[in-house]
Amino acid sequence: MSAPKYEILRTELEQLITSGLDAHAPLPSERELMAQYGLSRMTVREALTRLAEDGLVYRVQGAGTFVSDLTKITKSLTLTSFSEDIRARGMVPGSRASTVTWTEADAETASVLNISPGARIVHMERVRTADGLPMCLENVWISAELVPEDFELDENSSLYDYLEGIGRGPVTASQTIQATVLTTDQAHLLEVPPYSPALAVSRVAADAQGRVVEQAKSLYRADRYDFHVTVEKARGR
Ligand code: 16G
């Protein structure tokens, strides 16, 4: 089956943006895109909406669509992995300084992961990179039951791809975002001055059966990350 028309246009525009349009440059108008590609307004809008959801462009009512500042990642609050977020911006995700430690769940982690206190867990710490630049410091705890004894992820691998591969891909998560500053050690790993601002995101993710698969604490460099939330007026009130 061939890709939907909006997807073809989205890909073309993405290439145009990543291959050289400056931040805040205007994209052609909807009308121009309709004429140039022989597409309906709905299809053009769908392509632009997807690009906006991926954070590649932003829209200003009455003025048009503009290229986002690509040095900043806009993370939408849909359930995506770090690798997906970075690929959506045309960059290559990676990890460095990765450590995997086998340990026993304390009472708090056990209750979050829904396992018995003292049960074996795996704690993974990674500095996540985009095109080799450090973006985020990630700590993840998962039940040891989910992984083999020799579990390790190489620097280009995605934890979510791994979990999907064993039929435990995360589909929902509860998340808390807090403003914080980095300690000297954290700042060193993220290559910013000590006490630089960061966004601390705690995530507890569950699979399709509602089983908790990870507890994660990610520290995002505040100079490189925005979080985007779509809010809707509650219905029926
Ligand atoms: C994101 C998730 C983290 C998850 C990781 C997997 C947030 C706040 N955190 O960093 O929970 O473990 O992605 O990424 O979104 P990966 O599949 O690229 O390894």
Q: Please list the residues that pair with 218 across neighbouring strands.
A: 138, 201
pTM flag (> 0.85):
no
Name which residue sits closest to atom 10 of ligand 1, judged by CA: 82
The answer, yes or no, to whether residue 216 has pLDDT greater than 90, is: yes
CB of residue 219 inside a 6 A radius of ligand 1: no
Delimit the domains of the chain by residue range: 5-67, 73-228
Q: How far apart (Å, rounded) are the C-alpha atoms in residues 179 and 205? A: 21
Is the domain 73-228 a CATH 1.10.645.10 member? no
CB of residue 214 inside a 6 A radius of ligand 1: yes
CB of residue 140 inside a 6 A radius of ligand 1: yes
Mean pLDDT of 185-214: 94
Q: What confidence score (pLDDT) does residue 34 get?
A: 94
Q: Please list the residues that pair with 140 across neighbouring strands.
A: 124, 216
Helices (H), ranges, the chain: 5-18, 30-37, 41-53, 82-88, 107-113, 159-165, 184-189
The answer, yes or no, to whether residue 4 has pLDDT greater than 70, is: yes
CB of residue 204 inside a 6 A radius of ligand 1: no
Cα-to-centroid distance, 111 and ligand 1 (Å): 21
Cα-to-centroid distance, 155 and ligand 1 (Å): 14
The answer, yes or no, to whether residue 237 has pLDDT greater than 60, is: no
Q: How far apart (Å, rounded) are the C-alpha atoms in residues 135 and 192? A: 10
Right CATH for 5-67 from 3.40.50.1100, 2.70.70.10, 1.10.10.10, 3.40.50.1220: 1.10.10.10
**Residue 72 burial (CB count, 10 A):** 16
The pairing of beta strand 225-228 with beta strand 73-76:
parallel
**Six-digit token string for 100:** 């995997």
**Average pLDDT value for the chain:** 89
> pLDDT of 32-51, one tens digit each?
999 999 999 999 999 999 88
Mean pLDDT of 133-162: 92
> pLDDT of 16-29, one tens digit each?
888 878 888 899 99
Side chain identity at residue 70, one-letter code: L
Q: What confidence score (pLDDT) does residue 203 get?
A: 94
Angle at 139 between CA 138 and CA 145, to 5 degrees: 130
As a whole number of Å, the end-to-end CA separation of the chain is 43
